[in-house]
């Protein structure tokens, strides 16, 4: 019997210790082999050709050529799934989200930046992400990189298409509906595309669960806020749910919808993980299905596992409109696939059409 080929990984970091930690973490799994390593971006670009890895883990701060520059070059000339190793700082978060815009498929915190993460937890997270993205097809348009300045003050690396128009509703108008969106692997860049396409007078609140390590969700909310017409923030306990606002679940808590004195509020909960996650998409979508008194729109996007599949099915059962990102535009067709198989999805569309479908059903 032919043995299944191992997933080949190239580990890139300027620290020999971190390279060793990542290599050991990955090689705990018999289906993964580390075929090489590099201590700077220039060597990484070279080895991405010579070793032909299935996945690359990439540090950001390195000599000679940094991780962002190396990522751009790899995506431009020899696209591979790249997982960024991100430092838990404001700067680290900003650069990480820029890397996701450039074509990195996901990120994990560097071992040195998450002191509370055990070797077992690091290993499990890395292995799961490497396996999930190993067969991803990287669809990047080279034109994204043309005529771009290299300078760090170039904040917005590229703009998505112009936002949709919503002429039928006045600025600040209400539709009475609520939108719940769930995403995981590949989700940050996909969500940036959706949020940047919302119209100026978007009339509904939007609740989002994106699987992301604690400490990165606030910076991600700020990133979405800067590129969207919505007022986007990291959700806080007792936030009022208001039209034209987006609420991103913090990396440490479930978000639950509660009605009190005629208003809808967000409650945060650090209860046990659900579907393997906290925050859980299932918790959020199930909560809005149970507690929201008007119509709902549920969205399930790219990501591994099955979190959100049951929650979005509850929204459909209640008569809400549900839409899933299709396989062709997903980095990982996992959660959305399970949701479709469970019968929880009305429409399955490419990423570029998700915001259009949401607007059509407001």
Q: Give the residue numbers marked as catalytic.
A: 184, 211, 307
Cα gap 110→13, rounded to integer Å:
10
HEC letters along the chain: CCCCCCEEEEEECCCHHHHHHHHHHHCCCCCEEEEEEECCHHHHHHHHHHCCCCEEEEECCCCCCCHHHHHHHHHHHCCCCEEEEECCCHHHHHHHHHHHHHCCCEEEECHHHCCCCCHHHHHHHHHHHHHHHCCCCCCCCHHHHCCCCCCCCCCCCCCCCCCCCCCCCCCCCCCCCEEEEEECCCHHHHHHHHHHCCCCCCCCCEEEEECCCCCCHHHHHHHHHHHCCCEEEECCCCEECCCCEEEECCCCCEEEEEEECCEEEEEEECCCCECCECCCHHHHHHHHHHHCCCCEEEEECCECCCCCHHHHHHHHHCCCEEEEECCCCCCCECHHHHHHHCCCCCEEECHHHHHHHHHHCC
């Amino acid at each position: 019997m032919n043995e299944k080929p191992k997933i080949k990984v190239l580990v890139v970091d300027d620290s020999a210790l971190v390279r060793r930690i990542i290599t050991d973490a990955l090689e705990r799994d018999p289906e993964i082999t580390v075929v090489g390593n590099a201590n700077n971006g220039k060597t990484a670009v070279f080895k991405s050709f010579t070793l032909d890895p299935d996945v690359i883990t990439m540090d950001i701060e390195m000599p000679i050529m940094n991780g962002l520059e190396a990522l751009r070059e790899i995506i431009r000339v020899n696209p591979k799934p790249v997982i960024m190793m991100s430092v838990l700082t404001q700067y680290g978060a900003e650069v990480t989200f820029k890397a996701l815009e450039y074509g990195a498929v996901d990120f994990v915190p560097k071992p040195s930046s998450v002191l509370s993460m055990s070797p077992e937890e690091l290993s499990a997270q890395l292995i799961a992400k490497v396996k999930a993205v190993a067969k991803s097809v990287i669809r990047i348009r080279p034109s994204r990189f043309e005529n771009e300045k290299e300078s760090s003050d170039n904040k917005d690396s590229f703009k998505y298409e112009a936002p949709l128009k919503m002429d039928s509703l006045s600025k600040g108008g209400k539709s009475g509906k609520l939108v719940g969106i769930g995403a995981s692997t590949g989700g940050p860049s996909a969500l940036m595309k959706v949020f940047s396409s919302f119209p100026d007078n978007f009339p509904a609140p939007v609740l989002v669960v994106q699987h992301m390590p604690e400490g990165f969700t606030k910076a991600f909310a700020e990133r979405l806020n800067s590129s969207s017409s919505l007022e986007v923030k990291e959700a806080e306990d007792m936030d009022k749910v208001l039209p034209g606002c987006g609420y991103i679940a913090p990396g440490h808590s479930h978000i639950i919808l509660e009605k009190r004195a005629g208003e809808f509020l967000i409650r945060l909960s650090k209860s046990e993980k659900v579907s393997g996650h906290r925050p859980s998409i299932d918790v959020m979508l199930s909560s809005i299905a149970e507690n929201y008194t008007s119509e709902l729109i549920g969205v399930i996007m790219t990501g591994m596992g099955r979190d959100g599949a049951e929650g979005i099915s509850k929204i459909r059962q209640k008569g809400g409109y549900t839409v899933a990102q299709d396989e062709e535009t997903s980095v990982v067709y996992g959660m959305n696939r399970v949701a479709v198989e469970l019968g929880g999805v009305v429409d399955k569309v490419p990423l570029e059409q998700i915001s259009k479908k949401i607007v059509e059903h407001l």
